[in-house]
Structure 1
Amino acid sequence: MSDVAAPPAPSILEVVRRRYFSSVGNTLLTVVSLALLGTILWKVLDWAVFTAVFSTSGGPEACRGADGACWSVIGARWRLIFFGLYPYEEHWRSGLACLVVVVMTVLSCMPRFWSMKAISVIWIGGFAVFYVLMKGGVLGLVRVDEQNWGGLALTVFIFVTTVIIGMPLSLAWALLRRSELKVVSRVTAVIIDSVRSLPLVSILFTFAIVLPFVLPDWLTGDKLYRAIIGSALFFSAYQAEIIRGGFQGVPKGQEEAAKALGLGYWLRIGKILLPQAFKNALPATINQFVITFKETSLFIIIGFFEVLASGNAAYGTGDWTFAYVEVYVFIAAIYFAFVFSLSRYGAFLERRMDAGDRR
């Protein structure tokens, strides 16, 4: 073994100099890029903060002629954005229902609850509380039908219901797709590929508008639930392929060894293959969750008052029609908060699993 000591790690300043100021060309490009980014940042801050109007006392007239953003529209219309058509005096129920979903999500992210039983109890129980708060009709709560739901609560409801229905269905598709019976495997593949070949908008339109014409009255149900079933079917088709890819990442020798030990099918799947498949599929699964949350905005096309439609109503009525940019920026911030938190949690899970592998 050599006694020569390893060279010291370069300092941050040395790394910056090598990457961005190593030559005249790199230095010039770095300076121009910084100047451009600084100009853009200053323009954004000047519009959004320094010259913006925040007061709601003056109404729309306070923003007339202002150089910056008119955040007064958010202060005046935030209830409409968050709660949509939900009755004004019952807004506390819609807000509490959203808080229940946040708590449910946080509990699901804690390692101590990472078991099938605990996760099932948290999600099913949390969803039941959410639905009771939104729907009412029991425990002294005023009944509020689904056509009066709206805003952020409806967006969260669509996302959570899609995932709750779609995840078990996607697992069933994935297991059927890898079945040793050729007929079952091929029929499942045709179903999955057929759903994946269609745009989500067409599926939502079919389930919400077309199905009532071909189904008996007792089977049609509410339009919202039909659309959610269509969204869950679309989600499950993509997630099934993600899970199947996770299964393909598990060495075949492990399943063969489990068979040699006499383990039954469900023991092999539940104890050996599925945990590893979910781990392999984690990055793509988080990405699919992100896509699904953003795709809830498509429900506006079939007449639902989710958060984007509520935002349209917030600036589209009264004297706030000029403040549409501010409303869309605010809605974008809502989506960003949910999606960024979800992506960061996915990155945390990946680091945690990588650390577990190294141990």
Structure 2
Amino acid sequence: MQELVPHTTAIRPSPFSSLRARYFSTPLNGAVTLVCATVALWLLWSAFDWAVLHAVFGTGQREACLAAEGACWSVVSSRWRIVLFGLYPFEEQWRSGLACLVMGAVIALSCAPWFWNARRLPLLWVTGFATFYLLMRGGFFGLPVVTEQNWGGLSLTLFIFAAVCILGMPLAICFALLRRSKLPWIARTMALVIDTIRSLPLLSIMFTFAIVLPFVLPGWLTGDKLYRVIVGYALFFACYQAEIIRGGIQALPAGQEEAAMALGLGYWHRVGYIVLPQAFKNALPPTINQVVITFKETSLVTIIGFFDVMASGRAASGTAEWNFAVIEIYVFVALIFFVFVFSLSRYGAYLERRLDVGRR
């Protein structure tokens, strides 16, 4: 006869006991916790006092800012157009703003599961990017042409980021598949290309494509400096992302591809329906990380003469009227980057939980 075992229910610790066990388990831990909490509260209060209590708001409050003890947010309300639109003509800045909204909508729609398809997602990004470019460039429906030399601010940052992702992701897939080729000369050549580019700093690649490349290419092939930099950045992105994808492919059980071959599936069907979907799932955390890094590193283009959001921020506080409010402008630019990067990071964490990635 089976012995009856009484059913026991696990007792969850209270929040107070968990807090005590985690931060006040010993006198030393308690002292460290109190000191760190005191310093953190002091820093938060000092930041709140500077940014809110003694800050100056409103447009054109230069004299009040000079006499104030806190932040001068008046520079942001007076010069925000420079930060967001750069050198774009004032009367046409609505086009730049609308283009940014279109690109933001594309990024938001990419988060919807309905678009997670090999056809829908590329079509969404290509259509959104084409709309973005046409709005920025003009030349149709009576819109005057605005050349790339007059682009700047947040719109230029989004343009570079979107172009790099659209060019770099297909290249990364091709590079990863070529490196796994069964022909040794193809695999080794691709490995040499990837490792060479990954060993170079991004800034050196940008300088090469922006300045050196016109000296070695025929005039009809050089193109605009902006597009050369985008191609170089996309190549850099593709090499890093190719290794991420290759790692996701190597994590797959070998039997899956062998079973697909036994069923008579061709190479492209095996890659498109079995290998790549699971590889992207396995490589989701580093892929999100690579996209976040790509967005942040668009600020490097300011070193080679582009008027991106960082350069626009410096220009906004570079006049004699507002040259004392540099910190406030940089805080505003940092907030723009924070909104985009934090949103991407949180969405990546949501996808990891949804797909149950990284818990095995």
TM-score scaled by structure 2? 0.97
User: Distance in 1 between the 2:40 and 2:18 partners?
Assistant: 21
Equivalent in 269, 272, 287 of residue 270 of structure 1: 272
Higher mean displacement: 5-14 or 176-185: 5-14
Q: Which residue of 1 aligns with 2:223?
A: 221
1:9 aligns with 2:12: yes
1:203 aligns with 2:194: no
Sequence identity of aligned pairs in percent? 62
Q: Which residue of 2 aligns with 1:327?
A: 329
User: Distance in 1 between the 2:114 and 2:223 partners?
Assistant: 38
1:316 is paired with a residue whose SS is coil
1:24 aligns with 2:12: no
1:40 aligns with 2:49: no
Equivalent in 52, 59, 62 of residue 56 of structure 1: 59
Q: Which residue of 2 aligns with 1:246?
A: 248
User: Distance in 2 between the 1:2 and 1:298 partners?
Assistant: 66
User: Distance in 2 between the 1:209 and 1:332 partners?
Assistant: 29
Aligned AA (1:222): D
Q: Which residue of 2 aligns with 1:287?
A: 289
* 1:39-118 equivalences in 2 (<5 Å): 39-58=42-61, 60-118=62-120
User: Distance in 2 between the 1:161 and 1:74 partners?
Assistant: 29
**Aligned 8 A contact 2:60 2:78 in 1:** no
Aligned AA (1:273): V
Task: Report the alpha carbon displacement of residue 8 of structure 1 after superposing the two structures with TM.
Answer: 1.0
Aligned AA (1:323): A
* 1:312-323 equivalences in 2 (<5 Å): 312-323=314-325
Task: Report the alpha carbon displacement of residue 23 of structure 1 after superposing the two structures with TM.
Answer: 2.8
* 1:176-191 equivalences in 2 (<5 Å): 176-191=178-193
Task: Report the alpha carbon displacement of residue 226 of structure 1 after superposing the two structures with TM.
Answer: 0.4
TM-score scaled by structure 1? 0.97
Task: Report the alpha carbon displacement of residue 165 of structure 1 after superposing the two structures with TM.
Answer: 0.2
2:98 is paired with a residue whose SS is helix
User: Distance in 1 between the 2:291 and 2:116 partners?
Assistant: 18
Q: Which residue of 1 aligns with 2:257?
A: 255
Task: Report the alpha carbon displacement of residue 343 of structure 1 after superposing the two structures with TM.
Answer: 0.6
Task: Report the alpha carbon displacement of residue 22 of structure 1 after superposing the two structures with TM.
Answer: 2.6
Equivalent in 338, 348, 351 of residue 350 of structure 2: 348
User: Distance in 2 between the 1:318 and 1:165 partners?
Assistant: 41
User: Distance in 2 between the 1:14 and 1:44 partners?
Assistant: 32
User: Distance in 2 between the 1:181 and 1:167 partners?
Assistant: 23
Deviations 1:56-95 (A, max 9, x none): 243x222113211111110110000000000000010000
User: Distance in 2 between the 1:171 and 1:301 partners?
Assistant: 30
Task: Report the alpha carbon displacement of residue 25 of structure 1 after superposing the two structures with TM.
Answer: 2.1
Aligned AA (1:226): R
User: Distance in 1 between the 2:104 and 2:40 partners?
Assistant: 35
User: Distance in 1 between the 2:22 and 2:12 partners?
Assistant: 15
Task: Report the alpha carbon displacement of residue 26 of structure 1 after superposing the two structures with TM.
Answer: 2.2
Aligned AA (1:141): L
User: Distance in 2 between the 1:310 and 1:28 partners?
Assistant: 46
Task: Report the alpha carbon displacement of residue 111 of structure 1 after superposing the two structures with TM.
Answer: 0.6
Deviations 1:19-46 (A, max 9, x none): 1223322222222111111111111111
Q: Which residue of 2 aligns with 1:235?
A: 237
Q: Gaps (5+ residues) in structure 1? A: none
**Aligned 8 A contact 2:51 2:71 in 1:** yes
User: Distance in 2 between the 1:187 and 1:57 partners?
Assistant: 60
How many corresponding residue pairs?
356
Q: Which residue of 2 aligns with 1:164?
A: 166
Task: Report the alpha carbon displacement of residue 48 of structure 1 after superposing the two structures with TM.
Answer: 0.8
Aligned AA (1:152): L
User: Distance in 2 between the 1:2 and 1:182 partners?
Assistant: 63
1:166 is paired with a residue whose SS is helix
User: Distance in 1 between the 2:25 and 2:161 partners?
Assistant: 49
Equivalent in 129, 151, 164 of residue 127 of structure 1: 129
Q: Which residue of 2 aligns with 1:297?
A: 299
Aligned AA (2:52): V
User: Distance in 2 between the 1:7 and 1:87 partners?
Assistant: 66
Q: Which residue of 1 aligns with 2:152?
A: 150
